[in-house]
Structure 1
Amino acid sequence: MKPTFQMQWVNGPWGDPALLVRIRWARRALLFDLGSMATVPSGDLLRVSEVFVSHTHLDHFVGFDHLLRTVLGRDRILSLFGPPGIIGNVEGKLRGYTWNLVQGYPLRLEVFEVDPDWIRGAHFACKEAFRRQDLAARPFTGELWDEPGFRIRAAHLDHQIPCLAFAIEEPFHINIDKERLAGLDLPVGPWLAELKAKIRAGVGDETQIPVGWPGGRTETFSLGELKGAIISVTPGQKMAYVTDALYSPENVARLVTLAKGADALYCEAAYLDRHASLAAERFHLTARQAGLIARQAEVRRLVLFHFSPRYQGETEAFHREAREAFGGWVTVPGGHWD
C-alpha cells in the first residue's frame, strides 16, 4: 500500500521546524511550520496549497518570505492558518516591501487566525498591493480543513503565548488490486484516479465510470461493480505535529486527544531530562516527556525534532530517553533506530 501522505522533514533535528507533506494523489503539498525554506526545491514549494503555522517565533516563520517569493507570480490562492495574531504578522511582513509593479500578478493570500472559539480571516491580493480585506469569522470547533480526502484539526497549547498543534487524518485509504485489474483485462490509466476521487466524494454506486484502453476503446462501468471487483478500503493515515509546548496537564490532555492512534507523531524534544526544569522555564518539552505523550496517545511511531544546540553530539541520548518513556518506535529526521 502506497501511503497518501509522504512526509519530509526539511531541516534536520537541529534546524528550523518545517514539515513538508506531499499528497500523492493530488500532486499537492502542505507545510507545517515555516522555518528556513532554503533547501526545499521550488517545485515542491509551488505545490504547497495550505500552510499551518504553530506560532510566529522566528525559527517557525522565517521561511514565509522565501515561500512568497517562489509563488508570487502564480495564479493561485495560498492559505495560511496560525494562532491569534498571525494576520497582523503577515500584514506586517507584506508592508515591509514595495509592491508598485505587481498589478498584473494574480496571487491571493488567505490568512486565518485560530482563536479558541473563532477563526478570523483576511484576504490579501497581490494585484491590490496586498491590501488587507477582513473576512467573516466562523466558529472554531477543532477542525481547520475538511475535504473528501483528508481533514486537519488543531489544538491550542501553552508556550507562554498561544501555540497550535495539528493533526492530518485520512478517513480511509483506497487500494487498487493490480492482480484483479489485470485478471479482468482492465487497463492502468487516469480513470483509476477518477474512480478514487468518486469514492472519496461519496457518490452513489450507480455512478458511471468510463474506462479507456490504449487505441481508443472505451467502456463504461458502474462505480459499484468496480468497487466490488478491484477496490479494497483500509484505515487511513494519521499524522500529528506538536512543537513548543509546556509539559502541563492541560497541554498533555489536549495533545493526547489530538494525536490519539496516529501513525506518526512529530514532536519537539528541545531538552534532555537532566534539564527538565529549564525546559519548563522555556515552555518546551524534553525527549522523555515527548515519549510519555506518545505512549498515552498510543501512536505507532514517534519522530523527534527541534533539539537545542547545547546537545550537539548527543543525538543518541534523545532517542534513549524517548524510547524508555514510549516503549515504541522512535526516529529522528536523517536517521532512525528500531
Structure 2
Amino acid sequence: MSMRVTFLGTGGAVPTTERNPSSVLVNREGDRMLFDAGEGTQRQMMRFGTGFTISEIFVSHLHGDHVLGLPGLVQTLDFNDREEALTVYTPAGTEDDIDALIHAAGNRPSFPVHVYGVGPDEAAVRRDDYEVRTFRTDHNTNSLGYALIEDERKGRFNREKAEELGVPVGPKFSKLHEGNAVELEDGTVVEPEQVVGDSRPGRRFVYTGDTRPSSTVAEIAEDADLLIHDATFAEDRAERAADTAHSTARQAGEIASRANAERLALTHISSRYAGDVSAHLEEAREAFDGETFVPDDGERLDVPFPDE
C-alpha cells in the first residue's frame, strides 16, 4: 500500500525563485490530501505533475504563506470542471475567514466546498484504516499540526504452518487471517494465533506547520516514519526564531530525536538562507541520528511501512 509525499512548497513567508510557500501533498493509496496551500500552489501542482485530484485540504493556520493559494487553487479546480466536493479543515474559529478567502473576488465555484473548524486532539478524518489527527502547535496565532496515523495491520500469515496443521489451501486461509478459527474435516480446530503473527504497526506522517519546539509535537510524532518540521532558521537566528514562534533546524532535530522518528524533513526555510541549507543540515544532524534532509520544491518521497 503506497504513501507518497510531494513537497510542493518548502519556503518561508517570503518566496524565492527556488522555494514556494508552504504546501505538501500526500497520496495514500489514491487518497490525496493537501497540507496548507501557499501562494501559487496550483502552479506547483502543474509544474510537478501531481494533478488536481484532491479530496481534503488541511490548513495549519491563517498566515498568508499557508493559505493565499486557496482562492487560486479552487478557481483552477473550477476551470477544470471539478464536480466532487472539496473539504477544508482549519483551526476552530477561523472557518469564516477561510470561507471568505476561498470566495474572494466574487469566486463562486460550481462544486461544493465545505469548511470545517477543528480543535486540537481531534480526528479530523477517520477512514477504515487510518485517521488524520490534529495536535496543538506553538505559533503566534491559532494553529494546528496534522498527523496521518494508520491503524495496526494484521500479522503475517504463515502459510507453511497452516499447511502443516492440515488447513486446505483456499477460503480457510482467509478466515484464519481475518481472525476466525476454522474446523478441519477431522474435527480439529485451528486457531488464528497458530498461523498468524503479531500485528504490525502502520505508518505515521506528521506535519507541524509553523511552530516553536513543542513537547506536544514530540508526543504525536513518536516513532513517526516521516516528521515534517518547521526549521525556518539556523542557530544564527535562534533568538529570531523564538520571537517569531518558529524553530531552528537544531530544535527540529531535537524534537525528532525525542520522538524517535525515522525521517526528518526540514521545511519553511527562510529566504535569508537562499540556496545554502548546509547549516540547517549540520545542526539538525548533530541532534538527530535518523535520516535528515531539506527537501527541494517538487521532491517526492515514498514512505514505506516500518517493517519493510
TM-score over 0.5 (shorter chain): yes
Query: Quick one: which amino acid aligns to residue 146 of structure 1?
Result: R
Change (3 A) 1:165 1:44: same
Structure 2 residue ranges without an equivalent (≥5): 12-18, 161-167, 182-189, 301-308
Once the two structures are superposed, the pairs formed by residues 152-301 of structure 1 within 5 Å of their partners are: 152-173=132-153, 234-247=200-213, 252-301=214-263
Partners in 1 of 2:90 and 2:266 — Cα distance?
22
Query: Quick one: which amino acid aligns to residue 25 of structure 2?
Result: L
Partners in 2 of 1:29 and 1:231 — Cα distance?
31
Q: Which residue of 2 aligns with 1:108?
A: 112
Contact 1:154 1:258 in 2 (8 A): no
Instruction: Please say if 1:93 is aligned against 2:101.
Output: yes
Partners in 1 of 2:244 and 2:257 — Cα distance?
23
Structure 1 residue 296: Cα displacement: 0.7
Structure 1 residue 292: Cα displacement: 0.6
Residues 283-316 of structure 1: CA distance to partner in whole angstroms, max 9, x if unpaired?
1100010001101111011011111111124311
Normalising by structure 1, report the TM-score. Answer: 0.68
Specify the SS of the correspondent of 1:152: strand
Change (3 A) 1:231 1:264: same
After superposing the two structures, state which structure 1 stretch, 281-290 or 166-175, moved more.
Answer: 166-175
Instruction: Please say if 1:9 is aligned against 2:7.
Output: yes
Partners in 1 of 2:255 and 2:154 — Cα distance?
30
In the alignment of these two chains, the number of paired residues is 268
Contact 1:153 1:167 in 2 (8 A): yes
Contact 1:45 1:67 in 2 (8 A): no
Structure 1 residue ranges without an equivalent (≥5): 117-140, 187-194, 196-201, 207-223
Q: Which residue of 1 aligns with 2:34?
A: 31
Q: Which residue of 2 aligns with 1:50?
A: 56
Residues 216-236 of structure 1: CA distance to partner in whole angstroms, max 9, x if unpaired?
xxxxxxxx9xxx999996421
Normalising by structure 2, report the TM-score. Answer: 0.75
Change (3 A) 1:94 1:320: closer
Instruction: Tell me which of 1, 21, 27 is aligned to 1:22.
Output: 27
Partners in 2 of 1:317 and 1:148 — Cα distance?
42
Root-mean-square deviation over aligned CA pairs: 3.6
Shift >4 Å, 4+ stretches: 173-177, 202-206, 228-233
**Identity of counterpart residues, as a percentage?**
28
Partners in 2 of 1:108 and 1:17 — Cα distance?
25
Higher strand residue share: 1
Partners in 2 of 1:253 and 1:236 — Cα distance?
23
Query: Quick one: which amino acid aligns to residue 167 of structure 1?
Result: A
Partners in 1 of 2:127 and 2:260 — Cα distance?
26
Report which structure shows greater RCO (CA 8 Å, sep ≥6).
Answer: 2
